[in-house]
Structure formats: C-alpha cells, structure tokens
Chains A and B, each alone.
Chain A
Amino acid sequence: MRMKPDRGADTGRPGTGALAPALRATFPVLLGYSTLGLAFGLVLVDSGLPWWLSPLMAAFVFAGAAQFMGVGLLASGAGVGEIALMTLLLNARHLVYGLSMLERFAGAGRLKPYLVFGLTDETYGILSTEEAPAGVDPVRFRLLVTALDQAYWFAGCTVGALAGTALPVEAEGLDFALTALFVVLLVEQILARRPKEVFIIAAAASLLALILAPPRNFLLAAMGIGIAGLLATRLPSKPRSGREHPS
C-alpha cells in the first residue's frame, strides 16, 4: 500500500525515530481530520450516496473541501464535467503550496509523488513550518506526517459513512460544516492580504449570478463572471493614450 512507509528507501534506521515527532506534529490534524472526516461520511450517506464512496475518496482524492463539494454536486445530479471544472477551480490554491515546497521535496526521490499527492491544506501547514528534529531523516519525517494525516482522514471518512449506514444518525445540519469550512478558508484569504478588488469583483459576480442564473448553475455562472471580471482589471486601462507604461 502507498500509505505504508517504505523501509528500504534509505540507509538510516527504520521509521521509529521519526514516528514520535510525526505523531506530535500531526496531533492537531488527528483531532481535525477525524472530526471532519466523520462529518463527511455522515453527510455523504445522508445525501443518498453509497457508503464505500467515502473511503474511496479518502484514499484517492484526499482533499476535504473538494470531497465535500463533490458530494454536494453528485447529490444534486451534476455531471462529471461540472465536477471536474469545480475541482480544478477549488484546487487552484494548491498551486501556491507546491511552489513553496519545491526545495523541501527535492531529496524525496521515489517517495515524492506520494508527498505531492498528500499535500493538503493541513499537511502543507505542518511541512512548511515544522522541521524534522536533529538526527531524524527529514524525508521519513515528511512521509510519516503525510501518511498519518491521510490515515486520520481515511479513518474518519470510513467510520462516519459506516455509522451513517448502520444507524439512522441525524446528520441533517451537519453539512453546515462545509459552509463553515469555506468561511474559514475565506477568512484565511482575507488575512493573507489578497488584492482588495478581488473581493469586490467576487461579491459583484456572486450577486449577478444570483440574479441572472438559475440556482443550479450558480457556481459556474459566478465563477465565469468573476474570472472575466478579474481579467478585465488586468487589461491596460487606457490603450489609446499611447506610450506611457507597457505594463
């Protein structure tokens, strides 16, 4: 399995030395992923989807926001094309993570694809701030952090879906966790001091889409208008005024 640390990977001692610091570093994620994963499994089953979809997504997608959104779209009857487009847009934030991880992952060799696969918001948060303690192989530390995070998420998603199937858990309202998650990510974006005009454009695009598009096409309409609005701000404002600045 891809989640197991590969013992033959390097010359150092097996993963025991790295396990304790990795467990310590990922403890907050254990709390977060098991809780959110549980909610995800319950919401998935509650929206009429088969339970095995939950561990399947946890194993191969491993992206909280995208999984929640995918379940919402699947339950509302959206097509695979729409799911693809929204996944791409939602995951656009990952582009930034990768850029700042280029050097840290450089020595990972054949484990690198798994580290890249597992680069969630939370894993990124740990790996970009925590270094392996002295004497611990940094690659093994990063691998264990990533694998532990996925194990927590997988366990939460699986238990939640099974619990939702076994007993009629009242999951109504639990899907608000997704709304709260998006609000949290939005606050993070505001705190990251993004260009102010983006928030104005986004609000205007959302309003326009709310008025113009039917509710089930809201996401696509709002994203389309928003991206068009963004690109419009990049156009030179006065193309006719000749030779000022080429930018």
Chain B
Amino acid sequence: MTRLFAAVAVMAALTFLTRAAPFVLFARREPPALVVWLQSRLPPLVMCVLVADALKFVRFESTETWLPTLAGAATAAALHLAKRNALLSIVGATALFMGLKAWLGA
C-alpha cells in the first residue's frame, strides 16, 4: 500500500519535473550543448530498449509463443508507417495479437 502511494508520488513528481524542466531551466538561456545533444539521442535509445524489453521473452520453441508477439509488433510498425495514426496502429496490432493468441491457443 505504502509502496503504491510512494510509486505514484514519485512518478507524478518526476513526470511533472521532466515536463517543467525546459520552462524553468532554459527560458532565459540556451540549453547546454550536452542537453541538446542528448535530446536527439535519448528518446530513440529509450524507445528501442523498451521495445526490446517487451519482446525479450519471445522464444521460438512453439508457434503460439512467438507468432502473436512478433506479428503484432510488425503490424504496429507497418500500420504506423502507412497511416501514422497512433490509435489505429495500437488497436489494430493489439486486436491481431489477441486474435492470434486465442486462435493458436484453442
């Protein structure tokens, strides 16, 4: 219980902090070179690692464990490249994932 409240408090504070940082820090002066440099590199690094984290349990022993996950991820990427509509990509990929799971598991 305490852990849950602590987690929410920490997440709320840090999310607000990252959203407020540029307004507070760089309103009057140029951001330092390292910050500018990191700005174009940290987000793609984090996203790659998060995708890898989501796929890390994929094993190729049996079809029903890898096919839904990889097909879902590929669908999300393909849909997003085609339409660039985040909701469509997410809902479409999740529906395919759940459908494949149900179909292969039955």
Contacts and interface: CB of A to CB of B under 8 A. Distances in A.
Interface of A: 28, 31-32, 35-36, 39, 49-50, 53, 56-57, 60-63, 66-67, 69-70, 74, 80, 83-84, 87-99, 101-102, 105, 112-113, 116-117, 119, 172-174, 176-192, 194-195, 198-199, 201-203, 205-206, 209-210, 215, 218-219, 222-223, 226-227, 230, 234
A236 B37 CA distance: 15
Given A80-B10, A187-B80, A230 B26 contact: no
Given A87-B15, A92-B46, A222-B49, 12 more contacts: A70-B7, A80-B3, A84-B11, A90-B46, A91-B19, A92-B42, A93-B42, A112-B23, A176-B68, A176-B93, A182-B47, A184-B76
Contacts, number: 240
Nearest to A60: B12
Contacts of A234: 37
Contacts of B106: none
Contacts of B42: 89, 92-93, 227, 230
A180 B16 contact: no
Contacts of B6: 80
Contacts of B80: 183-184, 187-188
B43 A194 contact: yes
Interface of B is mostly: helix
A224 B69 CA distance: 26
Contacts of A66: 11, 15
Interface of B: 3-4, 6-12, 14-16, 18-23, 26-27, 31, 35, 37-57, 68-69, 72-73, 76-77, 80-81, 84, 86-87, 89-91, 93-94, 97-98, 101-102
A196 to B, nearest CB: 10
B98 A189 contact: no
Contacts of A177: 90-91, 94
Contacts of B77: 183, 186-187
Contact of B44 (A32, A60, A184, A186): A186
Nearest to B10: A84
A117 to B, nearest CB: 5
Contacts of A80: 3, 6-7, 10
B87 A198 contact: no
A52 to B, nearest CB: 9
A117 B19 contact: yes
A180 B73 contact: yes
Contacts of B3: 74, 80
B11 A226 contact: no
A183 B44 contact: no
A4 B21 CA distance: 25
A35 B93 CA distance: 14
